[in-house]
Amino acid sequence: MKKITNLKEFACTPDRFQGGHRLCPGCAHSMIVREVVNATDDDLVISTATGCLEVCSAIYPYTSWDVSWIHVGFENAAAAISGAEAMYKALSRKDKLYNEDRRVKFVAFGGDGGTYDIGFQSLSGAVERGHDFLYVCLDNENYANTGGQRSSATPIGAHTSTSPRGRVSYGEKQKKKDITMIMAAHGAPYVATAVPSTKHWKDLATKAAKAISTVGPTFINALSPCTTEWKFKPEETTEIADLAVETCVFPLYEIEDGRKLRITYRPKDKLPVEEYLSKQGRFSHLFKPENKWIIEEWQKQVDDYWDYLQRREEAGV
């Protein structure tokens, strides 16, 4: 496992995901990806589901990747990486000299659409079969690449192009699906949540290093604030990620072997959810008097969940 000590040392890592890609200015996807691929010195084979990251980092004939990279479909990043991993293992078993001087690790990236929704069956299968890989979900809570449709990661009240706000609608009606707990329930040896906030750079890099070096299927759900669809200024990306943590809207934790839960960061003074919601255009209608109840509902859900996490951690289950 690569030792992640301080940022001054980590910043000596030669970048393995390069600029010149066409993600929006201030896009969090690339902040997360850079930290993940820089968190190991081993060779990497990466598969990426269709979505902003894949489309913007591989515009023909260009590539932004300094590592081996496969793109297949929207629904099968996990299937592709498990196939690559199984083949690699088989070749190494047949021929002891096969790539013997290299250590190769397998990583898949998918958006929330490609993970929570359409790619869920292939992810669930790959984890159940026990392949040795890390899956990172870039959770921007919508289908950003196709114009911002809702997904099962979209939180209640959010305006998206298929859950629009209006005279009769307050936006998304459903609650966000708890993908991290679902992946933990598979019994995966390591699952975690992370954010691309400057303050928590080490939390993300350490989790990535840990997940990559763990043998077996591992999963990280990384919140990825989307300047275009969440409607905030590009320079605010890291601040919004930070607020998601300080309000406990997106708590940072990790779970080992499906059981041992550890909260990796505890805000000193938990901020009210309004601090997070008011920064984003997709929630601006919630501040109308008739929608006040949604903010109250948000606060209640966040408090309940934070409470639940703490009790689980305490109980060690």
Partner 1 sequence: MATPKEMLTTWDKVQFGAVLPAFEDPEHKKRSKFHSYNYSVADWRVEKPVFNRELCIDCDFCWVSCPDSCFIVEEVVNKRGKKQAKIVGINYNLCKGCAVCVEVCPTPIKSLLMFPEYVDNDEALKQWPTKDNK
Ligand X SMILES: Cc1ncc(C[n+]2csc(CCOP(=O)(O)OP(=O)(O)O)c2C)c(N)n1
Q: Is 187 helix (H, G, I), strand (E, B) or coil?
A: coil
Question: Least Å distance between CB 175 and partner 1?
Answer: 29
Using CB positions, name the residue nearest to ligand X: 111
Which residue from 105, 136, 130 is spatially nearest to 216, judged by alpha carbons?
130
If contact means CB under 5 to 8 A according to the sort of partner, which of ligand X, Mg ion, partner 1, none does residue 114 touch? ligand X
- Of residues 228-267, which lie at the interface with ligand SF4 (CB under 6 A)? 228-229
> d(Cα 184, Cα 258) in Å, to the nearest integer?
4
Q: What is the dihedral of CA 181, 280, 140, 225, to 10 degrees?
A: -100
**Residue choice 2, 4, 50, 69 for contact with partner 1 (CB under 8 A):** 69
> d(Cα 140, Cα 120) in Å, to the nearest integer?
16
Question: Least Å distance between CB 235 and ligand SF4?
Answer: 8
**Residue choice 1, 41, 55, 67 for contact with partner 1 (CB under 8 A):** 67
> What is the per-residue burial (b if ≥16 Cβ within 10 Å, else e) of 260-281?
ebebbeeeeeeeebeebbebbe
Quick check: 303 binds partner 1 (CB under 8 A)?
no
Quick check: 35 binds partner 1 (CB under 8 A)?
yes
Contact residues for Mg ion, defined by CB under 5 A:
111-112, 140, 144
| CB of 226 or CB of 248, closer to ligand SF4 | 226
Quick check: 57 binds partner 1 (CB under 8 A)?
yes
> What is the per-residue burial (b if ≥16 Cβ within 10 Å, else e) of 105-139?
bbbbbbbbbbbbbbbbebbeebbeeebbbbbbbbb
> How many residues are given for the chain?
317
| CB of 23 or CB of 261, closer to Mg ion | 23
With contacts defined by CB under 6 A, name the span among 222-230, 238-246, 283-291, 304-312 that binds ligand SF4. 222-230
Quick check: 29 binds ligand SF4 (CB under 6 A)?
yes
> d(Cα 220, Cα 129) in Å, to the nearest integer?
18
> What are the residues binding ligand X (CB under 6 A)?
50-53, 73-75, 111-114, 138, 140, 142-146, 151
